[in-house]
Chains A and B, each alone.
Chain A
Amino acid sequence: MIQNRIKRLMVLCVLACCMSAPLAATELVVWHAYRGAEKEAFQAVCDQFSAQSDGVTVKTLAVPYDAYADKITAAVPRGKGPDVFIFAQDRLGGWIEAGNTVEPIDFYVDDEMRERFLDNTLDALTYRDIIYGLPLNFKCIALIYNKKMIDSPPKTSAELVALAKKHTNAEAGRYGLAYAYADFFFHAALMNGFNGGVFAPGPRPTLNRPENVKSVELILKWSKQDGILPAEPSNALITSLFNKGKAAMIFNGPWFLGEIDPSVDYALAPLPALDEAGGNPMKPWMTIEGVYVAAPSENKDAAFDLVNYLTGAEAGKVMALKGRQLPANKAVYQLEEVKKDPIMQAFVTQSKVAVPMPNLAEMSMFWSPATTAMNTIIRGTATPKDALDKAQVQVEKAVAKLRKQ
């Protein structure tokens, strides 16, 4: 008796489930590497999309950053991956060359869509003149200063040095300026300010071009001659210096804001212009998180709708306000809440002169030689020219070995 009843009940349940569920529901799987507030905001946006669209639900999967790229490389080309995934542009070239990973979406992108993003951000996701993804959020470094020590942020490098000198007392471990200048990602702001760069159009390495040498010489002057920078600038040291009020100004990105001690009263400003480079602004590298449709996805149309929605103004608002991210959608910065936010405005101003980091696969070959070059230069064991020449030879060799077929 009881068994029968249970059976009947189960049948009823199954029936009910079948009827309530929309026929042929599409499930879109999205992979990302967000956590904390960013993850919550992203989840909220995905839920909004699910609620809005008929029969499409979004399922998200967060992957730890350290394993994320490997997971995409292994899973996506074998058709076991998501429909949509998010990653910064630095891996894009490699995935496109490897094939069957990122779907070109050039065709979907009309002029109106192109217009909605901050300058340059779409370029970062364009490879061989084909658009492969839409920009979601961007990240770049800006000037962060301690309000107690700095009244008005410097506009030019001369002002920067003068101000920094005032707040430097190396004996006491106080520095006017601190940033990870040995790290090429940070150094790129100076390099690009001199109109330098690491790859010429195409994958031709140009590490030792004269502009780059000049930019490194300027760093040497700041750290050795002016003495405004700490000797071994690791991220942990910079955090500590700034939190203890021992660094007046630092260059850092949005990810750093969470590490600032609540007791520090800080503000942001764009990086100063370089008098040494004819008043050119410092142009930091910008990383852009792109939203991509996975090439083997079976629901590309729906997937693109999601990409479109995620990079739209409505989603941007949630990510900006709830996730404290920097959406690449221009319209977000016209919102009253965002307009009032000096931090977001500072980064957006900075982004106007920022340069997207190259998305070539060959970028990965550049980091290690470049780091070595910067370290030897700062240690004083080689002149900027020699060190960069040596790095150039190394990168050239690696690039030639790869593109020979």
Chain B
Amino acid sequence: MSISRNIFRVTLGLFVGGLVSAFLGYWFAEGALREKVAETRVRQGTIRAMALADLVFAEQSRAEKEKTAPGALIQFWQQRHNDVDAVRVMRLSGARLLASSFNDDLENGTPPRRLKRSEKEIYDLGQLLRANVDTNREEGNPREPEVISEELRNGRLRVSVPWFTAKNPEKAAGYVQLEVSPTITTRELAFWPVLVLALVPAFLFFIGSLILSRLVKLEHPESVLWSAMTTSVLLMIFCLLGFGNYYLIDLGQENVRFQQELAQLYTASRTSAEEGAAEFALDYETTYTNDWDVNAYRQPLRYISFDGELYIGVGTAQDTVANRLGMAFFGCSLLAIGLLVFFGLGGAARFWHIIVDYREAYIYTLPAMTGMLVLVFFPFGYGILLSFTDQTLYNTEKPLLDIWAGLNNYIEIIGDFNLIQTTEAGWSFNYQNFYWTLFITVAWTVVNVSIGVTIGLILALLLNNKNLRFKALYRGLLILPWATPNYVTALIWKGLFNREYGPINHTIQLFGGEPVAWFDSVFTSFLTGITVNGWLSFPFMMVICLGGLQSISSDMYEAARLDGANRWQQFRYITLPSLKPTLIPAVILSVVWTFNMFNVIYLVSGGEPGGSNEILITKAYKLAFQDYRYGYSAAYSTVIFLILLIYGVFQTKVSRAMESNA
């Protein structure tokens, strides 16, 4: 009986794993093909546009007298190329539309003419391209697109490239925009491999095991599980390999075909450009250029030679789309095998039973968990994802995969041991270094929490006196720092510490001391933070301790006194141990809160002097909002999180160990 159950499970695993990975893989393969087609189409449009831009260049570089509007030129270009539907040539100076065959433009008046108010977008695109060209040139590192393409709803493509003049070959004078109906298409992706992967392994396995079980009688049916698992995994891998390879090869073949078509297109463009140059008597040097086939930054791709031949290897090697698809398939395979193992070993069944058996508990936790999941853990996961990228202000619109940085951010943070600076004057700490900030943060947390706990405990002990008068009043007043908004009180504290007029320095002077410039040295500045945060946080600890103290039965003290224990011994052996269960969760939480206490540092010392009193959280904030390095800042946050996580796990382990000892 159990043999067939195992077989059933493995079969189900093969089916589910195959089904999920097949659909996912198909989705990826289709996406990759679509991406490849889109990429090729853009190249088609770009070649056409760049070639025309060269003609416009030649035309507009002529002497002022010979210059004509390029209306005839674009007409010629459109006649020569069936795929070109409409052309627009725009010049920035004077905001002029030099020539156009767009219907909208013609309705607004025949070019050449000045752009109308409603045609702002036409002008803005020119300015954008001009600015992008300038930026890339000035920074010597292309980051802004110089070829802008846009896919239209009707399947057409709009490609805009800047044109230049001989007078100023570095500054874009305007742009040429083409609306193209791309001729490059692709066929439907074959669907049958999906069905094969979903059904065949499961079917084969099931039939095979049926036959086997008829032929062989096993003494220990359970032992068959492992061999069944191994067989099924091998079967799965085999099928996955076939599946992946089919689509990868398919993509490669399509790619080669695309390149060939592009090469033909390129040759055609060159021929007509030469003819056009002759017809319009343009001084047009085509012989040396091969830079119509360019990427978005107008950098030549050099896949196609000047004669329209493909360079060897184009279409197979170095194809990012194919590489990415390969990686996606690898991921799908892992998923498939994971599902197979999960189902095959009975994990899914167990999982289901757990959900059903404990549904009441899950229902009770569900609302809170959902809220946390959506509003806390989701942004949190996004932050962690971001930490593996190089996202900055300048590339926020790029997909995260394109700016993937792996562990670079973490290496930069943790691998920087440049803790000490040596100058002519001597050596000093490098306050920008991660380890310095970590040291300060740990010191800050340890000191703050100790102070909070100590003061809180002392006050609680004092207030825990049944006969004390004005107890409620004391308690009420001592709780105030917790109740008032801390962004107000933190600023007041900053004023109290001012060197010239701060009451603290006045007090020091009252007793004949010298005023202290609190924010000028690392230590005193640290002290200010500690004071403010201690002031803010002791009420919480006091309340917790007060509560804890009241739960201790007075019998214990009585007994201790009878045994002759003194006050210290009573405190040491009764009060403290009884407080432990109260204090430990509170301490853990307050360590976490203090570690990430942004307001106090930010508002009081601001990390002065020289960023030495920065803690990790304020540093992460600065990295994001001053240096605009979002990925790096996210990595900083993740490091903070990991440190706290390690602390939390360690602390709970220790306290649990102590509990079980007790």
Contact = CB atoms under 8 A, between A and B. Distances in A.
Chain A–chain B contact at Cβ < 8 A: yes
Contacts of A398: 626-627
Contact of A104 (B117, B127, B390): B127
A394 B432 contact: yes
B517 A232 contact: yes
A365 B500 CA distance: 29
Given A128-B131, A361-B628, A230 B423 contact: no
Interface in A199-242: 202, 230-232, 234, 236-237, 240
Interface string B592-613: 0000000000000000111100
Contacts of A97: 393-394
Given A104-B127, A375-B609, A386-B423, A236 B629 contact: no
Contacts of A386: 423, 425
B492 to A, nearest CB: 11
Interface string B130-167: 11001100110101000000000000000000000000
A106 B123 contact: yes
Interface string A252-266: 000000000000000
Contact of B500 (A107, A108, A237): A237
Nearest to A93: B393
Contacts, number: 107
Nearest to A401: B629
A377 to B, nearest CB: 12
Which of B120, B495, B520, B610 counts the most A-chain CB atoms under 10 A from its CB? B610
A124 to B, nearest CB: 17
A53 interface: no
A348 B395 CA distance: 40
Contacts of A402: 392-394, 627-629
B351 interface: no
B141 A99 contact: no
B396 A99 contact: yes
A130 B501 contact: no
B626 A368 contact: yes
B131 A231 contact: no
A403 B124 contact: no
B89 interface: no
Contacts of B627: 364-365, 398, 401-402
B135 A128 contact: yes
Contact of B131 (A130, A234, A376, A403): A130
A364 B394 contact: no
B523 to A, nearest CB: 15
A247 to B, nearest CB: 13
Interface in A125-142: 128-130
A361 B123 contact: no
B570 interface: no
B228 interface: no
B610 A372 contact: yes
A128 B118 CA distance: 23
A94 interface: yes
A94 B629 contact: no
A231 B397 CA distance: 47
Contacts of A230: 500
Interface size class of A (residues with CB under 8 A): 35 or more
Nearest to A127: B131
Interface in B494-510: 495, 498-501
A104 B498 CA distance: 45
A129 B131 CA distance: 7
Given A104-B124, A107-B123, A379 B520 contact: yes
Interface string B82-110: 00000000000001000000000000000
A361 B138 contact: no
Contacts of B395: 405
B490 interface: no
A335 interface: no
Contacts of B459: none
B74 interface: no
Interface residues of B, number: 46
A130 B118 CA distance: 18
A367 interface: yes
B173 to A, nearest CB: 14
Nearest to A391: B610
A202 B138 contact: yes
Contacts of B397: 99-100
Given A398-B627, A402-B628, A98 B396 contact: yes
B624 to A, nearest CB: 11
A404 interface: yes
Contact of B393 (A98, A107, A240, A382): A98
Contacts of B425: 382, 386
A114 B219 CA distance: 95
B88 to A, nearest CB: 16
B115 interface: yes
A178 to B, nearest CB: 11
B404 to A, nearest CB: 13
Contact of B115 (A107, A236, A300): A107
B392 A405 contact: yes
A98 B397 CA distance: 8
Given A230-B500, A375-B608, A107 B124 contact: yes
B482 interface: no
Nearest to A403: B139
B622 interface: yes
Contact of B499 (A94, A100, A107, A232): A232
B293 to A, nearest CB: 23
A11 B120 CA distance: 43
A203 to B, nearest CB: 8
A300 B128 CA distance: 18
Contacts of A375: 520, 608-610
B500 A405 contact: no
A234 B390 CA distance: 39
A107 B390 contact: no
Nearest to B608: A375
Contacts of B501: 236-237, 240
Contact of A405 (B394, B423, B495, B609): B394
A276 to B, nearest CB: 27
Nearest to B124: A104
B507 to A, nearest CB: 17
Given A236-B495, A375-B609, A128 B393 contact: no
Nearest to B396: A98
B656 to A, nearest CB: 41
B377 interface: no
B498 A237 contact: yes
A365 B622 CA distance: 9
A363 to B, nearest CB: 9
B246 interface: no
A210 to B, nearest CB: 19
Contacts of B495: 236
A404 B517 contact: no
Given A98-B393, A107-B120, A404-B141, A364 B625 contact: yes
Contacts of B127: 104, 106-107, 129-130
Contact of B609 (A99, A107, A130, A376): A376
B628 A94 contact: yes
Interface string A354-382: 00000001001101100010011001001
Contact of B143 (A94, A129, A130, A405): A405
A52 B118 CA distance: 22
23 contacts: A98-B396, A104-B124, A107-B95, A107-B124, A108-B117, A128-B135, A129-B130, A129-B134, A130-B127, A230-B500, A232-B500, A234-B498, A236-B498, A364-B626, A365-B627, A368-B626, A372-B610, A376-B610, A382-B425, A386-B423, A402-B629, A403-B394, A405-B395
Given A240-B501, A368-B611, 17 more contacts: A94-B628, A97-B393, A97-B394, A98-B393, A99-B396, A106-B123, A107-B127, A108-B117, A232-B500, A237-B498, A237-B500, A300-B120, A364-B627, A367-B626, A376-B609, A402-B394, A403-B394
Top 8 closest pairs, chain A to chain B, by CB: A128-B131, A107-B123, A372-B610, A364-B626, A232-B499, A107-B120, A405-B143, A398-B627
